[in-house]
Amino acid sequence: MKEILFTGAATAIITPLNEKGVDYNKFSDLLEWQISKKIDAIVAVGTTGEGSTLTDEEHKEAIRFCVEQVKGRVPVIAGTGSNDTAYAVELSRYAKEVGSDGLLLVTPYYNKATQKGMQISFEAVANEVKLPSILYNVPSRTGCNLLPETVARLAENPYVVGVKEASGNISQIAKLASLVGDEIAIYSGNDDQIIPVLSLGSKGVISVLSNLLPTETSQMCHLYMEGETKAAAKMQLDYIDLIDALFSEVNPIPVKAAMAAMGFCDDYLRLPLTPMEAKNREVLLALMRKAGLSV
């Protein structure tokens, strides 16, 4: 098996924003708190980090800042995927230049692509940049599904080291695991499927939940991998209602509301995203208090 970027839980971290731009003071506090809570890795400026509405300059600066703040204490994986392969290469090169440990490359969105097109696009980034890369399959957002057979072909590339599977299709993930074996790491992209995907040989999760509960999300993964399967499964079930609340509206709307309630950011999102509806917020905050969070 190739050397993998992390085992356990990586936080798909929010980007604290306000009317002036990225709030780097709050971003610094959030990163330090995540590391103090023993998170296994940080994924910067992905979907949860609102990468799609940051300017090019903000996107790059947020990656650079994250790398410099973390100082190698945990791996930093930069969200640099795009529906424009040339731009993905450009952004990925920058991420490498500033010291990112790896890349998260989402499948093309809106214009989409065939399986052949996705394969060629991912190979173009991997071969140009030569940095460990995790592919990101999230058909509900992108409109295209990266099939197991395509991932298996991409696994032959030395720089493709993992895949974040957020299709929600356990049968597809099982097929993927049967094809790639130990060639690359599979990570759950859905917090409500951490344990089911671990049971298929996953190395962990790229998580929204861990913005709020980094220690617990990491612990859930490591308990399972250490053979404490019942304890890990209990944690999955204990947090299932909170996870549902975190996805009761489009991500990252609820997690931004949650982190604002914890004091880590303003409840500010860029249009077309809008703050969480009051009735959903009430449910989310109640479940956060039930989980022991002070809000």
The catalytic residue among 60, 96, 164, 256 is 164
Give the position of tokens 């859930």. Answer: 220
SS3 11: strand
Going by their DSSP bridges, the two strands 17-18 and 133-137 should be labelled as unpaired
Name every residue whose Cβ is closer than 8 Å to that of residue 208 and which is 6 or more positions away in sequence: 12, 48, 191, 246, 247, 251, 252, 255
The catalytic residue among 26, 60, 94, 136 is 136
Instruction: Please say if 230 is a catalytic residue.
Output: no
DSSP secondary structure letter of residue 54: S
Element (H, E) at 289: helix 278-290
Instruction: Please say if 268 is a catalytic residue.
Output: no
Cis status, amide bond into 272, omega within 30 of 0: yes
Helix residue spans in 37-147 (DSSP H): 56-70, 85-97, 115-129, 139-142
CA angle 278, 284, 290 (to 5 degrees): 140
Which of 188, 187, 206, 260 is CA-nearest to residue 15?
260
Q: Which runs of E-coded beta strand occur in the chain?
A: 8-12, 17-18, 21-22, 41-44, 76-79, 102-106, 133-137, 160-165, 185-188, 204-207
Output the DSSP codes for 18-46.
ETTEE-HHHHHHHHHHHHHTT-SEEEESS
Element (H, E) at 197: helix 194-198
Indicate which residues carry an active-site annotation.
Answer: 136, 164
